[in-house]
Amino acid sequence: MATVPGLTDDRGGQTHRPGVVVVRPGDVVDPDDDRISLLVLGSETDAEGDLDAVDLVLAPQGSVAAARREVVGVADVDAAVEMVTLAVAEWPLAAGALARLLPHVVEADVDHGLALESRTFSALLAGPEFAAWLAARGAPRPPGAPHRVQLERIGDDLTITLDRPARRNAYDAVMRDALLEALEVARLDPDVHVTLRGAGPDFCAGGDLNEFGTAQDLDSAHETRLAASPGAVIHAIRDRVTVQVHGNAVGSGIEIAAFAGHVRAGADSRFRLPEVAMGLIPGAGGTVSLTRRVGRHRLLWWALSRAVLDATTAHRWGLVDELF
């Protein structure tokens, strides 16, 4: 396993188990400190200056500072600090890996960012936090109906519908391959415009939990993630892709959707990233797509807090472009 930022040493051993250090405006952050740095701003602080030196920035909701893309506005700053501290204590490997990965992903192009994310994801799949989640998950459920997507083309308009409503459109390898095949039509024909939607009450419930932990060769799984990435294809044709979200968009569901040039969300939409509590990080391209929409600070908060973002918040953050 290659060295992964913030997770492995040169021998591939897992070493990074961070805590949290809370800093105030004017404090100097030690770049060699392994802890996740959390900057707390007051109601009157305008948050001027460079916030890149810290991992996470919190400010009171409605404050001047909270309007900045790098800042998360919260109702109770002290409670938010405690929540982050507890999350990092419970899942130190996943939290630390995500915090250390995000600055690298932000600086990378999409392909390199996806490679960094996938390597980190594979390393965590081999880790003790994911093993503990897997042991607690219990027996997998039957996969259900074999069909995963439906296509409708009228002229140059292609509608791709995730069609597994009995499982809330849970994303598995069969759906991935079907989605890639459908997107190939648009990739090869520059006149085709794509609308991606979901059947049933939810857009996508995220990765099918049945498939987690089934990879026998993590290096091969890494190569497959890079070679068969719907997110990468959507990014390549993003100006011709609209995603229409409703209900729940969880994990890989919103990670893939966020690569599109235009994301619409219904008023009932809810967005969640559950991966850290599984001992993992977003692994369907989310560290790449979501940072480009909401910034790395807000993404780290969202993942650590496991907060459910409503449609209004998602629109304000730039996660979605339009509400309907």
Structure confidence by residue, pLDDT tens digits, 112-138: 999 999 999 999 999 999 999 999 988
Centre a 10 Å sphere on the Cβ of residue 141 and count the other Cβ atoms it contains.
11
Q: Pairing between strand 309-310 and 149-154?
A: unpaired
What are the phi and psi torsion angles at 196 (to 5°)? -110, 125
Nearest C-alpha neighbor of 14 from the set 91, 117, 112, 123: 123
Confidence (pTM): 0.93
Helices (H) and strands (E) in the chain, counts: 11, 13
Average pLDDT score over residue span 266-272: 98
Q: Is a pLDDT exceeding 60 seen at residue 250?
A: yes
pLDDT at 16 over 60: no
- Host H or E run for residue 314: helix 311-317
Model confidence at 1: pLDDT above 60: no
CB 210 within 8 A of CB 167: no
Note the pLDDT of residue 3. Answer: 44
Mean pLDDT of the chain: 92
Predicted local distance difference test score (pLDDT) of residue 2:
40
The pLDDT of residue 26: 84
Judge contact between 60 and 43, C-beta under 8 A: yes
What's the gap between Cα 228 and its chain centre?
17
At 56-104, the pLDDT tens digits run 999 999 998 999 999 999 999 999 999 999 999 999 999 999 999 999 9
- Between CA 203 and CA 60 the distance in angstroms is 32
- Which of the 8 DSSP states describes residue 129? H
List, for residues 187-231, the tens digit of each pLDDT value.
999 999 999 999 999 999 999 998 998 888 999 999 999 999 999
